[in-house]
């Protein structure tokens, strides 16, 4: 791993979550799994960390126990080129118990927050008036609709 690698703290689902995320994103893979030894603090032989890459971005999943949970303060942003890509990414990440939230946000079955947004979003917010019109529509949505956002921008 090089650069900045987000570390995602799980209770005991790091390997399961990494496999799920790798199945969602193209060009992704699990790179390494490490296990706790006799020293702990986890049970000997249980998964400690999972190094994985999602479309070229490195992550580390850590099975650290139940002390900490994900919060809305950190989210993963996925920029989608088309509505079909946005829809597919939304459906995959929300599968299995995820929660649909407002404004393109969702929480997956592990509690991690995701923002599924159109890649053209910065273009739709070029000036104050355009941004205001687009945001009025975005606030009405859960999953974002690119055509509606483009109409509002125009």
Give tens-digit pLDDT for 4-49.
999 999 999 999 999 999 999 999 999 999 999 998 888 899 999 9
The candidate with the shortest Cα–Cα distance to 49, out of 74, 21, 13, is 13
pLDDT value of residue 2: 63
The candidate with the shortest Cα–Cα distance to 82, out of 147, 139, 25, 133, is 147
Q: CA-CA distance, 5 to 21, in Å (whole number)?
A: 15
Give tens-digit pLDDT for 85-137.
999 999 999 998 889 998 999 999 999 999 999 999 999 998 999 999 999 99
Pairing of β 105-107 and β 113-118:
antiparallel
pLDDT value of residue 3: 84
pLDDT value of residue 117: 96
> Pick the residue with more confidence: 2 or 4?
4
pLDDT value of residue 40: 80
In CATH terms, the fold of domain 75-153 is 2,3-Dihydroxybiphenyl 1,2-Dioxygenase; domain 1 (3.10.180)
CATH architecture entry for 7-63: 2-Layer Sandwich (3.30)
Kindly report the pTM of this predicted structure.
0.90
Calculate the CA 58 to chain-centre distance: 13
Q: CA-CA distance, 99 to 102, in Å (whole number)?
A: 10
pLDDT value of residue 146: 97
Q: Residue 106: beta bridge partners? A: 100, 114
Section 149-154 average pLDDT: 94
Domains of the chain, by residue range, sit at 7-63, 75-153
């Amino acid at each position: 791993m090089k650069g900045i690698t987000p570390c995602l703290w799980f209770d005991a689902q790091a390997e399961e979550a990494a496999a799920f995320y790798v199945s969602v994103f193209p060009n992704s893979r699990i790179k390494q799994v490490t296990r706790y030894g006799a020293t702990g603090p986890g049970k000997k032989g249980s998964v400690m960390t999972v190094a994985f890459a999602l479309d070229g971005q490195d992550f580390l999943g850590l099975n650290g126990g139940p002390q900490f949970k994900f919060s809305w303060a950190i989210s993963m942003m996925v920029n989608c080129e088309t509505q079909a890509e946005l829809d597919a990414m939304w459906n995959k990440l929300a599968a299995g118990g995820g929660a649909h939230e407002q404004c393109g946000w969702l929480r997956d079955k592990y509690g991690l927050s995701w923002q599924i947004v159109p890649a053209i979003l910065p273009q739709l917010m070029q000036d104050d008036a355009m941004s205001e019109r687009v945001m009025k529509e975005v606030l009405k949505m859960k999953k974002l609709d690119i055509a509606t956002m483009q109409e509002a921008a125009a």
